[in-house]
Structure 1
């Protein structure tokens, strides 16, 4: 909202980088400062005899806060800002492919960076200490900020446009005020509706027709100024304002289907707990329990690159779609893969639990069984593939369907959905614990995995994913054709440009 409505994307990204860098520097300071006060009898090997520095926790929490705020300014805006540099503002096949390639390679590079973070940065922190481990990201962030600012003269910087957000609110208010007014017949001409002065006259779409009341002209002599603007913009809006508002509202049901994937993505700790009770030896090396998630990241990265470079062209010939698969087809395929991933996770956990009980570890929650932790790789790979299909498809969908001046808001919807998913996931865990742990029984999500039934938890997520997939199919059918708002907006811009050229010739 700040970037699209008030400041523009470039300033928000720059400030976000500075704030994030400040948080990382504070985190580095917490690693440099001693943890305990130098008092007589204090031995770091025996922390109970020491007093912790009072500034440590405030510094730590402040660093987390700054890094979170900075990430909030960078992540939604960076993707939209990068797309702005390539978007030729037309609906041609070439432009669609150009944007798709950008989105795919953006996430390919992001996946590679995550792999480097998980494998290299974590290794540095483990073997060289926290000071060196935190210093490396600080240096990298500083270099990234300097490179970003150095390219400032070359960037295409779209200006913030608060009128779009205000216009959406005006449409909602005007629709309510005019709720008792009769709509013109479907055959009504464009002259029956309020269009911006100088733009090409057109009628609103037949979707969500009740909102069309906001742009119906009833008495032009009383409702319009001499320059063609509305006397009361809270009672009469333009057709473009109405279509922008429709674009935002129409997307919301499809956006809501991204909450269940957010639940699945948020339960990252459960596979880590499972891996901790399994054989993690690979030769002479014991793989950290948290490192198995790297297989999901690798799958996402490989799939995105493979799809963009190899699969798009043959799929385009089969489907006739410039993207190979349409955005909603990719999103739906991703939701289907989430179902399979949760079913595989349930089966793997059932086998792990059965093997642990057979080895006599039912009451030994820290015991490590003989089953290889590599059995967790398929579910991680499936989740990575589902993310590549659904989550990246969501971002492309929001970017292409939202009004151009609201691209950052559209892109941030993915993070919002994942956030809602994390909250819902916590609620599901709480409900499941209270419902299955009554009367002294072990909860399905017991701290002792061998006494719990985590396989049932995964089956619940699989069932929710099936219901979510069915819901998505209905939402997709109700949504109709993609790209109509963008086409109308482009037509309006072309008409305005033509009008400007004609005036200049005169």
Structure 2
């Protein structure tokens, strides 16, 4: 955010203004490199933060079945509700600042807020409940087989090569959710272009309020209506009605995240939640691919998505295409949900350092493995 703010403030890091929109000076290689580096750092930071912040926050509460059912509030609802409020502020207050004051202050405000939030997080470190990582998990049944050479070893086993039955089952539970997880990719693919086509459509609309031209809604703020719909849907989620509402963002955000969190093993919830953001990223790329293919193959005379003026295109045909894709995606999701076997929400049982072991199933005998931290688990001997 700091480098992005500097690129908007310093004249050396941005091309000169071009009010006439004619014969404008292009950005130099240095200016583009600074911009791309800033965007890369933002993406890298978001990639490290988003999959972990929700599981870390959930670890601060008792998420066992009895406690969750006794609470009158839903943690995931509140998480996405605060995200919706922050997005609402960004598309209203920050967009107004960027349009009427300047891009430097518009980027500077979130940079200051992010620095303040980082400081608050660091100061609260002693108060957090920290769950120790459970190690690597990428094995199948073969990885849990204890060979004769492994049985002869007296030192700590290499748990990167020899896995326990419990960890193998953890990976299997992640694999089982992948078909339903994949249905979210196509949903995001159709939703991905809302921020681009929505702004382009808004630029050609009459955005004045109550037929008064003294104030017009900025094009970038038109998404406020979809955000308000999501916020209202979050309030109604699990309260009044769910099925008749049909608000895709509410189901995709809260429902998808809850599904991945509840159906994943306790020690792999950060990895499972990361799948949610991977689905969003894959959906964004797939949405871009859809736009490129439609633009390329819908003809030059009457292109659905023209380069300059959307009024000369057939944007409604693209939306009908996206609707057809979602119909197919819905049928795929229903089939996956029909055959999926849900994991019961059981009370979490932690493996402690007092000699508790995890019971594995299957043929053969079992041998207790103790790692360097003193955790005891089982492997199967064939």
Alpha-carbon distance in 2 for matches of 1:30, 1:81: 33
* Counterpart for residue 273 of structure 1: 200
* Counterpart for residue 490 of structure 1: 348
Contact 1:103/1:396 (CA < 8 Å) preserved in 2? yes
Alpha-carbon distance in 1 for matches of 2:53, 2:33: 30
Offset at residue 60 of structure 1 (A): 2.1
Structure 2 counterpart of 1:427, from 263, 286, 289: 289
What are the residue-to-residue correspondences of 1:393-432 with 2, within 5 Å? 393-432=255-294
Alpha-carbon distance in 2 for matches of 1:247, 1:73: 23
* Counterpart for residue 262 of structure 1: 188
Q: Secondary structure at the match of 1:445?
A: coil
When you count helix as a share of all residues, which structure comes out higher? 1
Q: Secondary structure at the match of 1:490?
A: coil
Change (3 A) 1:145 1:249: same
Change (3 A) 1:27 1:499: closer
* Counterpart for residue 303 of structure 2: 443
Alpha-carbon distance in 2 for matches of 1:51, 1:423: 27
Q: What are the superposed Cα offsets for residues 97-144 of structure 1, whole Å, 9 maximum, x if unpaired?
A: 659711111111111111111100111122222232222112211111
Unaligned runs of 5+ in 2: 358-382
Alpha-carbon distance in 2 for matches of 1:432, 1:416: 24
Alpha-carbon distance in 2 for matches of 1:99, 1:77: 25
* Counterpart for residue 305 of structure 1: 235
After superposition, the CA RMSD in angstroms is 3.6
* Counterpart for residue 372 of structure 2: none
TM-score of the aligned structures, taking structure 1 as reference length: 0.61
Offset at residue 35 of structure 1 (A): 4.0
* Counterpart for residue 77 of structure 2: 104
Say if 2:32 is the partner of 1:57: yes
* Counterpart for residue 114 of structure 1: 87
Aligned length, in residue pairs: 351
Q: Secondary structure at the match of 2:304?
A: coil
Contact 1:444/1:453 (CA < 8 Å) preserved in 2? yes
Say if 2:100 is the partner of 1:127: yes
What are the residue-to-residue correspondences of 1:29-428 with 2, within 5 Å? 29-35=6-12, 55-88=30-63, 90-92=64-66, 94-96=67-69, 98=71, 101-163=74-136, 165=137, 168-169=138-139, 171=140, 174=142, 224=151, 237-268=163-194, 269-283=196-210, 284=212, 285-307=215-237, 310-311=239-240, 337=246, 385-428=247-290
Change (3 A) 1:153 1:262: same
Offset at residue 474 of structure 1 (A): 1.1
Q: What are the superposed Cα offsets for residues 54-82 of structure 1, whole Å, 9 maximum, x if unpaired?
A: 64333222221111111111111111110
Unaligned runs of 5+ in 1: 1-23, 176-213, 316-329, 338-384, 501-506
Change (3 A) 1:395 1:477: same
| Structure ranking higher on relative contact order (CA contacts 8 Å, 6+ apart) | 2
Structure 2 counterpart of 1:454, from 304, 311, 315: 315
Change (3 A) 1:99 1:247: farther
TM-score of the aligned structures, taking structure 2 as reference length: 0.79
Change (3 A) 1:99 1:408: farther
Offset at residue 302 of structure 1 (A): 2.1
When you count strand as a share of all residues, which structure comes out higher? 2
Larger Rg: 1
Offset at residue 242 of structure 1 (A): 2.8
